[in-house]
Amino acid sequence: MEQALFTANNLWMMIATILVFIMHLGFACVETGFSQSKNTVNILFKNTIIPPIGLLTYAFWGFNLMYPGEDFAGKLFGFAGFGLSSPEGADTGAYNAGYTYWTDFIFQAMFAATAATIVSGAVAERVKLYSFLIFTVLYVGLCYPIVGMWKWGGGFLNTMETPFYDFAGSTIVHSVGGWAALAGIILLGARRGKYVDGKIRPIPGHSMPLATIGVFLLWFGWYGFNGGSVLSADPGAVSHVFVTTTLAAAAGAIGALVTALVVIRSNDLSMVLNGILGGLVGITAGADQMGITDAILIGFISGILVVVAVVAIDRVKLDDPVGATSVHLVCGIWGTLAVGLFGNLASGAQVISQLIGIVCIGAFCFAFAFAVFYVLKITLGIRVSEEEEIEGLDIGEHKMEAYHNLGQSQEKMYS
Amino acid sequence: MEQALFTANNLWMMIATILVFIMHLGFACVETGFSQSKNTVNILFKNTIIPPIGLLTYAFWGFNLMYPGEDFAGKLFGFAGFGLSSPEGADTGAYNAGYTYWTDFIFQAMFAATAATIVSGAVAERVKLYSFLIFTVLYVGLCYPIVGMWKWGGGFLNTMETPFYDFAGSTIVHSVGGWAALAGIILLGARRGKYVDGKIRPIPGHSMPLATIGVFLLWFGWYGFNGGSVLSADPGAVSHVFVTTTLAAAAGAIGALVTALVVIRSNDLSMVLNGILGGLVGITAGADQMGITDAILIGFISGILVVVAVVAIDRVKLDDPVGATSVHLVCGIWGTLAVGLFGNLASGAQVISQLIGIVCIGAFCFAFAFAVFYVLKITLGIRVSEEEEIEGLDIGEHKMEAYHNLGQSQEKMYS
Amino acid sequence: MEQALFTANNLWMMIATILVFIMHLGFACVETGFSQSKNTVNILFKNTIIPPIGLLTYAFWGFNLMYPGEDFAGKLFGFAGFGLSSPEGADTGAYNAGYTYWTDFIFQAMFAATAATIVSGAVAERVKLYSFLIFTVLYVGLCYPIVGMWKWGGGFLNTMETPFYDFAGSTIVHSVGGWAALAGIILLGARRGKYVDGKIRPIPGHSMPLATIGVFLLWFGWYGFNGGSVLSADPGAVSHVFVTTTLAAAAGAIGALVTALVVIRSNDLSMVLNGILGGLVGITAGADQMGITDAILIGFISGILVVVAVVAIDRVKLDDPVGATSVHLVCGIWGTLAVGLFGNLASGAQVISQLIGIVCIGAFCFAFAFAVFYVLKITLGIRVSEEEEIEGLDIGEHKMEAYHNLGQSQEKMYS
């Protein structure tokens, strides 16, 4: 390929990589903002250490597990060996038409940690730190690359007659995180004081500015997440994805606004924020296949679904402090299904393929996560003590607090 | 055009788009940081829902209202029909030499919401939520595309003998917001307790870190706002705009620092922050036409103007909590005039054309905004009740608070 | 050079520029978060005004001092004249194969302020504002361009037989800041109450979310800092730098996590955050010369070093509130040395050249900064009064507070 075009393509993939990177800060801000201040250091700690874990395990073996090459066992499980070295043509167009080997690795590696970051929010405020980190290593290092390979690595979901379609990962990234979040909150139980005498007691997040910053950063990063999934800087394809992604996010906000007004009779900022995220998750599976109206509809319905799901999940007493299952699991499933219902690929056969993908990946991920959390529960334990939960995990796990003397009279500090 | 160059041009326009997107987070942070904590959720809510409203109305009709095509009534008013579909060549260079149809739409759409976001800050802490949202739909959906069309859509300001010049929108974006901000605060009146017994009582913002984050994000995004207005990745033109934009912002900070020291005898962080924004607004009209010294002078004078305007506007008892009129209206006018005074286009004829543009757009926007706010005032009302203002709009409009238990002993929460 | 390739190269350099720009916000957040809330406005003020100072002094003379052209005195000191005008070919490929004159200037100018921003954190909470700003003008305006010229401007460190190697500035940027930080904290003395009766009393930072946001923004910006130092969008070279930079940051986090567990027996968030920064500083000198394993090792050792250095520097009663000397000086030296120990350039001769560079630049910078701070100390004074330190610099220097009524009952504000 011509050098200038290769350079422009690779440049976009690198920029998309760092946009996906900043999503990790987005997740950290959203999850921290929606949680109590006494657990802030703990959430920040998890979300700071998950990307390094994800990046390093992906370098060591994940990348080669996810992309095993042409021929592998039943298109179900393969492994190209350990990483740390680069193939011939790594630095040039010889590796790939759109980007170098290094770009390929780093773009994919940035995605990997996301699966665990999503879980982090759902299990927040009561999960034991090291149990969660062990889960992270296993889930990001094994589960994510295996199911990713099923589709993106050339596995059985990609070789079906009507291939399962998931453009940027409504299922392969977001639902993967969402299923583990569900497994986690089932095994952990609700936070102390959340469901008392059959009543739901809301535990408000401690900083709405932080949560808002997080959602905007996620939206910002999503241009790399979806736009980069074009795997080149193709002007028509990437700009089209930008438009569908943007309008779905916008429609998600409006969908959640309206639904929250009807269902909970409130101008609820956290619902609108989650509506944006829901719209983004919803469009992710088909961002390159939808027209403008399709994108707006998918996003709007995602916004409705988020609000309904948050209320419903709370009713069945599954305690998800940040709404991660509603956003990433429910809208991830919806968006994946929507590929069969709207846009270029809409067909009955596609709906069935989408269902196959959703069910296979869902079953594997939920089982994997449930098994890991269960083994951890009966060995190390996954939940902090009641005292620690009351006092906060910041003191319990980190011996530090997130905030000191904010705007109080401070003269007395050294008295 | 050659594919590689088209790809690079389009890539820059897409990146500029997401830089403009993140400006919406910048506005949210600045306006929240400069306001009281009891109105934080309300401001975040407005600034989260304005971009979706702006994006969707622009998709539905705004884009076609702003760019009506070659021939339209008196170069004053035209309309190309409703959106949601794409023209031939949408995905390729056939649409445009520098970018695709999709890129054109999404770049312009990101600008649209800005006009209302600017107003949001000025009317903060006392405006009724739904009255403001109705204003937003009308102002972003109708007023902004109409005046934008006057210049950028080929209207009468562009077809004058010496065309009005506004490179990236000192007038067409920033003053448009500023005039509505002025109309809003006139009709709303000052916040309770701001002007008592003829004295000005400062109401300090609740979070300087948030305001600072906002200003840096706005500066960051401005590289897309101004740099993207080149409408290609032309190396000389875009990098030149980067230099003028940067130096004007820097000089604005110094201008405000010095002026604040002289005028209010204080190392005032909020003035320096607004000085940066003033410098950015000031250079926006002529960022591609100025030399280095011009840019520094324009920015420095903007920094002076911001401080003087903040003090003066306060003296006449117009209550603008975040200084939006000083930054966006005063420096917008100054920057637009400066195109006639400095740089490549400096001439008497240009000054007159600039004045015509400033006056025409100003008169239309102020009248439009005043009429909308006035009708809302005598129907729905535009100001919250005294009780709600005292208690805060977060509780009044949203039934939630922005912060909980920040750094206080938290053990008692569940007691 | 072909126009399309030139456009793509220049585009990357412009984007790298704004990534480096956002690092200034990263520094502001890290330093504010790690300090007490009563000094927040002061730190924000410094970090808001330093970039304008750095940009303007660089435009006036710094750029021409750092890049004096081919022939200058002893390769030690030269000056190409005052700035504000542009050479022939400024806008086109005639100036340079990879980018325009304007891009060259603005990319380099964004680096300049960094040297002072690093110092800002170390001297926080007790330095006099205007003494620090005078130091900033001299250090950023003179010291940084002079030592930068020694290598990047074609000076003696670049013309040695085995040239000193510092890809993106482990020494030339980070240690330059680190040495001045060391000089500053030696002359300033510790904060009141830090070392009492021979004991170290930790003074915790006031906002961990702010510090975390800062570190992620710095990591984000570092892709421009290191990736832009390739000076083109060369696909292989830039993506390779992205991989080494990312893995070093990740390994730094793990290195610091493990070391903090062993040394201070705590899951210390601030150590992990500084470990990331340490890894980034460490890889900066050789980011283009290292294999994957090298990068991981360099980052991991940086993470260990940060924790050990923070503890050691505290033991000798040098009070550095944010760990700037540990991160930027210690890891800067380590990363520079590592170029001689790992990767493509590893050799005994290279180790010696690296030591020569470290020692020459270190001696000059430390002496320069010490002299400036010393003269300021015996004239204007460099330390605020005891009363001001207790009350906080926000009130003392700025007559304002950073936070108001965060989450407290606010009804009483106007009573």
For an interface test with A, give the residue of B9, B86, B100 to mutate (most A CBs within 10 A). B100
- B196, with CB counted inside 10 A (0-12, 13-18, 19+), is exposed
Chain B residue with the nearest C-alpha to that of A240: B102
User: pLDDT value at position B317?
Assistant: 94
Contact B14 A239 (CB under 8 A): yes
Compute the Cα dihedral for A286, A288, A289, A292 and give only its sign.
positive
pLDDT of amino acid C91: 77
Give the C-alpha separation, B10 to B93, whole Å: 9
Cβ-Cβ contacts under 8 Å for B201 (sequence gap 6 or more): B193, B194, B195
| SS3 of chain C | CCHHHHHHHHHHHHHHHHHHHHHHHHHHHHHHHCCCHHHHHHHHHHHHHHHHHHHHHHHHHHHHHHCCCCCCECCCECCCCCCCCCCCCCCCCCCCCCCCHHHHHHHHHHHHCHHHHHHHHHCCCCECHHHHHHHHHHHHHHHHHHHHHHHCCCCHHHHCCCCCCCCCCHHHHHHHHHHHHHHHHHHHCCCCCCEECCEECCCCCCEHHHHHHHHHHHHHHHHHHHHHHHCCCCHHHHHHHHHHHHHHHHHHHHHHHHHHHHHCCCCCHHHHHHHHHHHHHHHHCCCCCCCHHHHHHHHHHHHHHHHHHHHHHHHCCCCCCCCHHHHHHHHHHHHHHHHHHCCCCCCHHHHHHHHHHHHHHHHHHHHHHHHHHHHHHHCCCCECCHHHHHHCHHHHHHCCCCECCCCCCCHHHHC
What percent of chain A is modeled with pLDDT above 90? 83
Contact C37 A407 (CB under 8 A): yes
Instruction: Calculate how close chain B gets to A320, using CA atoms only, in Å.
Output: 18
Number of helices and strands (H, E) in chain B? 18, 2
pLDDT for the residue numbered A412: 38
Report the 3 state secondary structure along B216-232.
HHHHHHHHHHHHHHHCC
Residues C258-276 pLDDT 10s: 999 999 989 999 999 999 9
Q: Tell me the pLDDT band of A198, cut-offs 50, 70 and 90.
A: confident
Give the lowest-confidence range in A69-73, A215-219, C115-119: A69-73
Quick check: A52 and C249 CB within 8 A? yes
Q: Which residue has the higher pLDDT, B238 or C197?
A: B238
Residue-averaged pLDDT of chain A: 92
C-beta of residue A288 within 8 angstroms of C-beta of residue A238? no
Contacts of B19 in chain C (CB under 8 A): 18
- Is 80 exceeded by the pLDDT of residue B411? no
Give contacts of B100 with chain A, Cβ < 8 Å: 235-236, 239-240
What pLDDT does A409 receive?
43
Looking at residue C107, its pLDDT comes to 95
Residues of A in contact with B106 (CB under 8 A): 239, 242-243, 246
Q: What is the CA radius of gyration of chain C?
A: 21
d(CA A95, CA A67): 14
Using CA atoms, how far residue B250 sits from A24, B75, B323, C115, in Å, is 31, 38, 19, 17
**Of the candidates B112, B8, B125, the residue with the CA atom closest to the CA atom of residue B58:** B112
Instruction: Tell me the per-residue pLDDT of A139-169, one tens digit each, with 9 for 90 and over.
Output: 999 999 999 999 999 999 999 999 999 999 9
pLDDT score, position C43:
96
Pick the CATH number of A3-75+92-398 from 2.40.160.40, 1.10.1040.10, 3.20.20.70, 1.10.3430.10: 1.10.3430.10
**pLDDT at B213 exceeding the cut of 90:** yes
CA atoms in the 13 A half-sphere facing the CB of B187: 28
- Min Cα distance A50 → chain B (Å) is 25
Percent of chain B with pLDDT over 90: 84
The reply to whether residue C206 touches residue A404, judged by beta carbons under 8 angstroms, is yes
Does residue A148 or residue A86 have the better pLDDT? A148
**pLDDT of C78 strictly over 90:** no
Which residues of A fall within a CB distance of 8 Å from C212? 25, 28, 44, 48
User: A351: which DSSP letter?
Assistant: H
Concatenate the DSSP letters of all residues of B68-110 into one string: --S--BTTTB------SS--TTTTSTTS-SSS-HHHHHHHHHH
Mean pLDDT of chain B: 92
Residue of B25, B90, B410 with shortest CB distance to A213: B25
Cα–Cα distance between C316 and C182 in angstroms, integer? 12
Least confident segment among A272-286, B240-254, C401-415: C401-415
Structure tokens at B326: 């000083």
Q: Which chain B residues are Cβ-neighbours of A403 within 8 angstroms?
A: 406-407
pLDDT value, residue A1? 59
| In contact, A235 and B232? CB cutoff 8 Å | no
H-helix or E-strand spanning residue B122: helix B114-122
How far does Cα C254 stand from its chain's mean position?
22
A398/C217 CB distance under 8 A: no
Would you say B402 and B41 are in contact if contact means Cβ atoms under 8 Å apart? Answer: yes
- Predicted confidence band of residue C414 (pLDDT cuts 50, 70, 90): very low
Which pLDDT does position C408 carry in this prediction?
Answer: 52
Question: pLDDT digits over B311-327, tens only?
Answer: 999 999 999 999 999 99
C44 to B254: CB separation less than 8 angstroms, yes or no: no
Contacts of C41 in chain B (CB under 8 A): 208, 269
Q: What is the DSSP letter of B167?
A: S
Interface contact flag, B212 C403, Cβ < 8 Å: no
Mean pLDDT for all residues in chain C? 92
User: If one looks up domain C3-398 in CATH, what number appears?
Assistant: 1.10.3430.10
For residue C85, list chain B residues with Cβ-Cβ distance below 8 A: 291-292
B195: β partners: B200
- Closest residue on chain B to C58 (Cα): B247
C-alpha A189: how far from its chain's center? 22
A318, A185 contact by CB (below 8 A)? yes
CA C285 – CA A291 distance, rounded (Å): 47
Question: Is the confidence at residue A333, as pLDDT, over 60?
Answer: yes
**Cβ proximity of A67 and A144 under 8 Å:** no
pLDDT of amino acid A352: 97
Nearest-CA neighbor of C354 among C334, C329, C325, C327? C334
Please give the interface size between A and C, counted as residue pairs whose CB atoms are below 8 Å apart.
194
- Whether the per-residue pLDDT at C409 is higher than 70: the answer is no
Does residue B148 have a pLDDT over 70?
yes
pLDDT of amino acid A89: 73
pLDDT tens across B75-109, in order?
Answer: 777 777 767 777 777 777 777 778 899 999 999 99
Spatial neighbors of A265 by CB under 8 A, at least 6 apart, are: none
As for the ipTM of the complex, it is: 0.95
What count of CB pairs under 8 Å joins B to C? 194
Q: What DSSP state is assigned to residue B166?
A: -
The reply to whether residue B102 touches residue A236, judged by beta carbons under 8 angstroms, is yes
Integer Cα distance of B296 and B251 in angstroms? 5
Q: Which of A269, A294, A394, A395 to mutate to test the interface with B (most CBs of B within 10 A)?
A: A269
Task: Give A247's contacts (C-beta < 8 A, 6+ positions apart).
Answer: A292, A295, A296, A299, B55, B56, B59
pLDDT band at C407, cuts 50/70/90? Answer: low
Name the helix (H) or strand (E) containing A196.
Answer: strand A195-196
| Higher per-residue pLDDT: C299 or B114 | C299
Write down how long chain A is: 415
Q: Where are chain A's structural domains?
A: 3-75+92-398
Backbone region of residue A192 per phi and psi (left: phi > 0; alpha: psi in -120 to 50; beta: other values)? beta
Q: Tell me the C-alpha distance between B290 and B241, whole Å.
A: 9
pLDDT value at position A120? 94
Give B9-61 as a DSSP string.
Answer: HHHHHHHHHHHHHHHHHHHHHHHHHTS-GGGHHHHHHHHHHHHHHHHHHIIII
- Six-digit token pair at C9? 């190269």
Mean pLDDT of A71-76: 74
